[in-house]
Amino acid sequence: MQLLVTGGCGFIGSNFIRTMLTRHEGLTLVNLDKLTYAGNRQSLADVETTYGGKRYFFAQGDIANSELVLHLFEEHAIEAVVNFAAESHVDRSIADASPFVATNVAGTQRLLDAARQFGVKRFVHISTDEVYGTLGTQGKFSEETPLAPNSPYSASKAGADMLVRAAHETYGMDTVITRCSNNYGPYQFPEKLIPLMFSRAVADEALPVYGDGLNVRDWIYVLDHCRGVELALLQGRSGEVYNFGGNAEKPNIEVVRTILAALGKPESLIRFVTDRPGHDRRYAMHGKVAIWRVVSVWP
């Protein structure tokens, strides 16, 4: 199978690529990444050493570049796509939403156009729990929860989701959408909560916490998420949406205090700051499948 992974030098994408090449000997993988601030080619240095030029190929570029995308589809005879590529930081989207629309919406459409032109067997689109909006103190998001994004970032991801759905409904494309709760693990960009708090605490710097710190997130280890995406790629039903959650809800302030305790640092480092505009209060996920189910070998 010839697989195109977009955004593969990012946090989740790099973990997914390493997982797939390790687990599936018959797989050839092309990684298309623009290498923006959150993409680090060094995250896959070991992959390039082991598989480069044989089962792994890297291309630097923008998913919104139709000429480049079409060239990759043709040159590598792409059969399936997993689209991780996205602008993904809420604060950055509040400051300027235009890059989020360009990559997350227009870029996704360019990929869909190319995938349809070359008749790919499956298109897996990686979305987020944030497209559902916010929850109260009870309940969880399901795949049937209406989309209600509250930030420019989540709105752009919801727009991309709708384009993927439309490709399935209009053209009969084999598409799958996955939505996951908050990830943590190796190679995460340092502006995200856990690595940011860790790095600042190690340096004895103030730890900024939005609002009252009681915003709740459901946390999942990145490799568990990758196994879920793998399952969606191999066994997901065409046209379906799959939610992945870790069943590990924690208020942000509890996560921060846990990090401080593990490092032996004082809680006096915590600084409560003005809350983010449109800050969702709570996320929690309920899904159709258990991501720890055994995944079949690559066909």
Q: 46 catalytic, yes or no?
A: no
Tens of pLDDT along the chain (299 residues) come to: 999 999 999 999 999 999 999 999 999 999 999 998 888 999 999 999 999 999 999 999 999 999 999 999 999 999 999 999 999 778 889 999 999 999 999 999 999 999 999 999 999 999 999 999 999 888 899 999 999 999 999 999 999 999 999 999 999 999 999 999 999 999 888 888 899 999 999 999 999 999 999 999 899 999 999 999 999 999 999 999 999 998 888 999 999 999 999 999 999 999 999 998 888 899 888 876 544 443 333 33
Catalytic residue among 130, 161, 249, 280: 130
Does this model's pTM top 0.75? My answer is yes
Q: 187 catalytic, yes or no?
A: no
* Owning domain of residue 63: 2-185+219-244
Question: 253 in a domain, yes or no?
Answer: no
Question: 125 in a domain, yes or no?
Answer: yes
Q: 205 catalytic, yes or no?
A: no
Q: Is 205 left (phi over 0), alpha (psi -120 to 50) or beta?
A: beta
Question: 116 in a domain, yes or no?
Answer: yes
Question: 158 in a domain, yes or no?
Answer: yes
Question: 272 in a domain, yes or no?
Answer: no
Catalytic residue among 51, 153, 187, 242: 153
CATH (domain of 86): 3.40.50.720
How many structural domains is the chain composed of? 1
Question: 19 in a domain, yes or no?
Answer: yes
Catalytic residue among 62, 87, 129, 161: 129
Question: 211 in a domain, yes or no?
Answer: no
